[in-house]
Amino acid sequence: MPFLLDQLSTVTFRGDIPPWRMASVPLFIAGLILIILGLATSGSSRLQQTDVSKLFGYAALLNVIVAIIFISPVLVPTLEFPILITRWPGIYMVAAYTSFLVVGVLGSLGWSLMYSNVSRILDAEIFDRGLALLQFVLYQFGIYGLSVFMFWGGYTGSKLSYEGGGDALVGIVMESNVIPSALFIYTIMFASAIGVVTLLSGKQRKEVKATLPSR
């Protein structure tokens, strides 16, 4: 995120970029510290593959319900979605909803299936609780944040464009919503990377039992 904002600041200037640029550095440092602390204390507790699979399975079902609620404002005539979606910023609303379906619904279902079948591929049945939960939380947090910011940015931009606002003004208004979307894209990418590490570091049940102290 700091790298992205630095690149943006070299090609354009907006009043809302510097605050995000300043906030991204301490957030990056805090996140790095949490990762180091998490890795240092990992391995103390484990989750079975079925438990992690159920988490993502429940999330997929919940996201289906949210997707239905998410699109329901289209039925409200005063919001003018059928008109606004024809303006060029409306592509962000389409991208937001498509991303939620692909990443939030199908992606969560995919991770659920991956964890439920990983024992057949990698001989892994037990996973680190901290890594698995961190992946789950960041993954869901990332897709919700991305969808909300992109959808709202597209809506406000389309509304302003429909009311006669110029492209430059529309771009300025949208940036305050669209720029944070990059943070959530990185969050989803990071969560997926954690998922790969979690799967590869999984162990068989007998291996975990062998490492437990005898009583």
Digit-by-digit pLDDT tens for the chain (215 residues) are 666 666 666 655 555 555 666 666 677 777 777 667 666 655 557 778 888 899 999 999 999 999 999 888 777 777 777 777 777 788 888 889 999 999 999 999 999 999 988 888 777 778 888 888 889 999 999 999 999 998 888 888 888 887 777 777 777 777 777 777 888 888 899 999 999 988 888 776 655 444 544 44
The pLDDT value recorded for residue 60 is 96
Same domain, 16 and 109: no
If asked whether residues 156 and 204 sit together in one domain, one would say: yes
Dihedral class, residue 127 (left if φ above 0, else alpha if ψ from -120 to 50, else beta): beta
Domains identified in the chain, total number: 2
Residue 30 sits in the same domain as residue 95: no
Which pLDDT does position 146 carry in this prediction? 92
Orientation angle between helical segments 49-71 and 90-99, nearest 10 degrees = 150
Residues 159 and 198 occupy one common structural domain: yes
Whether residue 103 sits in one domain with residue 13: no
Q: Would you give the end-to-end CA distance of the chain in angstroms?
A: 49
137: domain CATH number?
A: 1.20.120
Its domain, for residue 7, covers: 1-41
Long-range contacts from 144-148, C-beta under 8 angstroms, 24+ separation: 144/104, 145/180, 145/181, 145/183, 145/184, 145/187, 146/96, 146/99, 146/103, 146/181, 146/184, 146/185, 146/187, 146/188, 147/70, 147/96, 147/97, 147/99, 147/100, 147/104, 148/96
Asked whether 86 and 157 are in contact (CB, 8 A), the reply is: no
pTM for this entry: 0.74
Give 113's contacts (C-beta < 8 A, 6+ positions apart): 53
Helix (H) or strand (E) holding 47: strand 46-48
